[in-house]
Structures are given as C-alpha cells and as structure tokens.
Amino acid sequence: MTPAPVKGIAILSQGLAAVYEEPLGPAGIRVRERPRTEPVPGAVSIAIRAASINHLDLFMAQGLQRVTPPRVIAADGAGVVAASGDPAWRPGDEVVIYPVLCDWVCEWCRSGQNVMCPHFGVVGEHSDGTACEIFHVDARNVYRKPRGLSWEEAAAFPLTFLTAWRMLTTRARLRPGEKVLVVGASGGVAVAAAAIARHLGARVFVTSRSEAKRKRALELGAEAAFDSTDFSKAVRDATDGGVDVVVEHVGPATLAESMRSATMGGRIVTCGSTSGVKAEITMPRLFWGQLDLLGSTMGNASEFESVLKAIDEGLRPVVDRVYPLADVEAALTRLDAAEQFGKVVLSVS
C-alpha cells in the first residue's frame, strides 16, 4: 500500500540536514545545508537537539522504500521551540515530535484513529525528517518533552515506543502477569516492546542470535533469553506451554517458531517483516490454537500520549550509541551491521 501524499502544513528540514541522495546504503546519506525560513501559521520551528534513526532510514538509503530522493531522513526528534506559528507553543519550550503524518481532519482522524487516515505517513519517509538543525512541523505533532529524559533519550523513544505500545496494548490487549515473547530483541521496536511489557507488569522472554545481546536483555529484566534458532521448544518448556503474546517483526524466518511459542488463545502481533514479505503459515496451528495473528504499525496521537504518561511513571528507552549529525553514515552503518542494542541517536546541537 502506498499512502496518498500528505496534505496540509508543509514539513521542512532546514539548516544542516542528513539527506538521502542516492540508493547506495549508508553512503547515500549526506549532510547538506538547507535554506532557513520562518514557520507558517499552524507550524512550529524546532531547533533539534537530538534525532534518532530507525531501520526505515536504512531501507530508504538502500532504495527499498519507493522514496524519490532527495529526502531528509529520520522520524524521531527532540528539541527547543525556536519560533512558533501556533499560540500553544513559545520559543524556549522543550518538545518531542509525534512521528505520524495524517491530515487531522478526516473521519478517522476526528475519531482519534490517525493510523487509519487515508493520508497516513511517517515523518522522514513521506515528508522531510528530523535529522536536521531546524525542523518545521504541524503544531499538532508537537508534545512537551518528558522532564526525566535526556535529549538523547527524548529522541530515542517516539517511533519505537509508539509502535510497541500500540502492538502490546491496543492490538494484543496485554494484561499484567501475562507472558510475552519478544523475537529478535535488540532492535529498536523489540527493545521498546520488552521495556513496555515489563512496565505493564508482564513477564518478558526474548530471543536473540547474539549472546551479548541476550545477556543485556536479561540485565534489563527479561526472565529468560533464548537463541534465535528453533526457539519454540525452549520457550514452551520455560513458560509452562507457551506465551500469551509474541511480538514479531522478523517475518518468514521466525513466524512459524513464533506461532509454536504461543499458548492456546495466544496473540502474535507483527509490525514488520525484515526477512522477506511473504510467509507461509501452518493453518491448523492457527485455528486449533485459537490464535490471533495481528498486524500493527505506528500508533495514534492518544497512544503517543499514553507513552508519555508511562515515561513520567518511569518507563525508559535504551540508547545504544550517540553520533554527531556529521557522522550519520557511521550511525547507519552500525544499524546495517545489526550491532546495536536499543537506539542509535544523532546529536545535533
């Protein structure tokens, strides 16, 4: 599905910015100077302090997202209001950005279902992105920065925590005390899902190919961590017959094992398919198991507000490493090599 172009207030990246110019992988993203203007009515101009990158940026750099360059990358950003075209915000306000694009006026948006909007999109994919010095965005995408977070942490949580929050709460209807398996638990959304599941009082289990990453997940509160190969038997043995919820983002390489890891009536919720777009499923397992197979992407503004509230209650993102904006190629290369645990952040000013 290719979303329709977003209408309304133009999103603009200004000053120095990390721009996708050619589908060469990380080397195709270059830092360029963009013209600076004043915000239009309804828009807020934010001096970005930190931005963070997601796999989406890497896919775009590899030419996999059907995005025509040039495009400034990154969905996540936090910074200080520099100028405001909206009375709700004043220069000096410390803010974070809700990374969803929508028209705010359709029936879906008016009923709070921004993810269903016919003009749905993602900041930094369907518009300019946050990896820049000055970012102009619709005032409705602007929220107060959580007080307890550093700039790097504030830039690290929006897209991944919003996505994982909707997956676990709205879609999988996770309840306290339930068992959650997070597959491939070192990427951004997976680390966010493990943290949120713990915050919501669930028991967390993870898989990872890397022993160091399994160790890190255990330090962060996972009850057990399994190798990524044929994990379902180990999961069932450790959980009295399977988990209530599986968080998936890998797709064909793990989906069968994920379904085998679920207990009777379990829910498998997916937001991605990094190992390919087509997967085969064993149908009897789905219906005999009374399983729910659920899709989810990004989240509504109200879900973003719930994430902010959970952060005020102590939920924290995991920052893997911080790079200066000028080193954006090295930051993307780290993501490309799957070396990270948590979020790779760009420090802007």
Assigned token pair, 49:
């302090």
Q: Judged by CB under 5 A, which of 50, 117, 202, 246 binds Zn ion? A: 117
Nearer to Zn ion, 83 or 106 (CB): 106
How far, in Å, CA of 236 to CA of 260, rounded? Answer: 8
The answer to whether residue 220 forms part of the interface with Zn ion (CB under 5 A) is no
Assigned token pair, 73:
């990358």
Cβ–Cβ < 8 Å for 33, 15:
yes
Assigned token pair, 244:
């209530």
Residues 23-42 that bind Zn ion (CB under 5 A): none
- Sign for the CA dihedral angle at 349, 343, 117, 169 comes to negative
Stretch that binds Zn ion, among 75-83, 84-92, 103-111, 310-318 (CB under 5 A): 103-111
Quick one: which of 287, 280, 298, 295 has its CA closest to 262?
Answer: 287
CB of 216 to Zn ion, least distance (A): 39
Task: Write the single-letter amino acid at 342.
Answer: G
- Sign for the CA dihedral angle at 183, 185, 186, 190 comes to positive
Q: What is the CA radius of gyration of the chain?
A: 20
CB of 121 to Zn ion, least distance (A): 11
Assigned token pair, 93:
């306000």
Stretch that binds Zn ion, among 11-19, 42-50, 105-113, 251-259 (CB under 5 A): 105-113
Assigned token pair, 277:
């777009």
DSSP state for residue 146 in the 8-state scheme: P
Nearer to Zn ion, 72 or 123 (CB): 123
CB of 100 to Zn ion, least distance (A): 10
The answer to whether residue 103 forms part of the interface with Zn ion (CB under 5 A) is yes
Nearer to Zn ion, 62 or 297 (CB): 297
How far, in Å, CA of 251 to CA of 274, rounded? Answer: 6
Cβ–Cβ < 8 Å for 86, 41:
yes
CB of 125 to Zn ion, least distance (A): 17
How far, in Å, CA of 6 to CA of 101, rounded? Answer: 7
The answer to whether residue 106 forms part of the interface with Zn ion (CB under 5 A) is yes
CB of 7 to Zn ion, least distance (A): 10
The answer to whether residue 298 forms part of the interface with Zn ion (CB under 5 A) is no
> How would you class 283 by CB atoms within 10 Å of its CB: exposed for 0-12, middle for 13-18, buried for 19 or more?
exposed
Cβ–Cβ < 8 Å for 318, 345:
no
How far, in Å, CA of 45 to CA of 125, rounded? Answer: 19
Place of tokens 């690290």: 156
Nearer to Zn ion, 117 or 291 (CB): 117
The answer to whether residue 100 forms part of the interface with Zn ion (CB under 5 A) is no
Q: Judged by CB under 5 A, which of 48, 102, 222, 225 binds Zn ion? A: 102
CB of 2 to Zn ion, least distance (A): 16
CB of 10 to Zn ion, least distance (A): 17
Residue 197 backbone phi and psi in degrees, to 5: -60, -40
Nearer to Zn ion, 8 or 23 (CB): 8
Stretch that binds Zn ion, among 41-49, 99-107, 209-217, 245-253 (CB under 5 A): 99-107
CB of 138 to Zn ion, least distance (A): 12
Give the total of residues touching Zn ion (CB under 5 A). 5
Site string for Zn ion, 37-76 (x = CB under 5 A): ----------------------------------------
Q: Judged by CB under 5 A, which of 19, 48, 53, 109 binds Zn ion? A: 109
CB of 113 to Zn ion, least distance (A): 8
Stretch that binds Zn ion, among 13-21, 112-120, 189-197, 213-221 (CB under 5 A): 112-120
| Footprint of Zn ion (CB under 5 A) | 102-103, 106, 109, 117
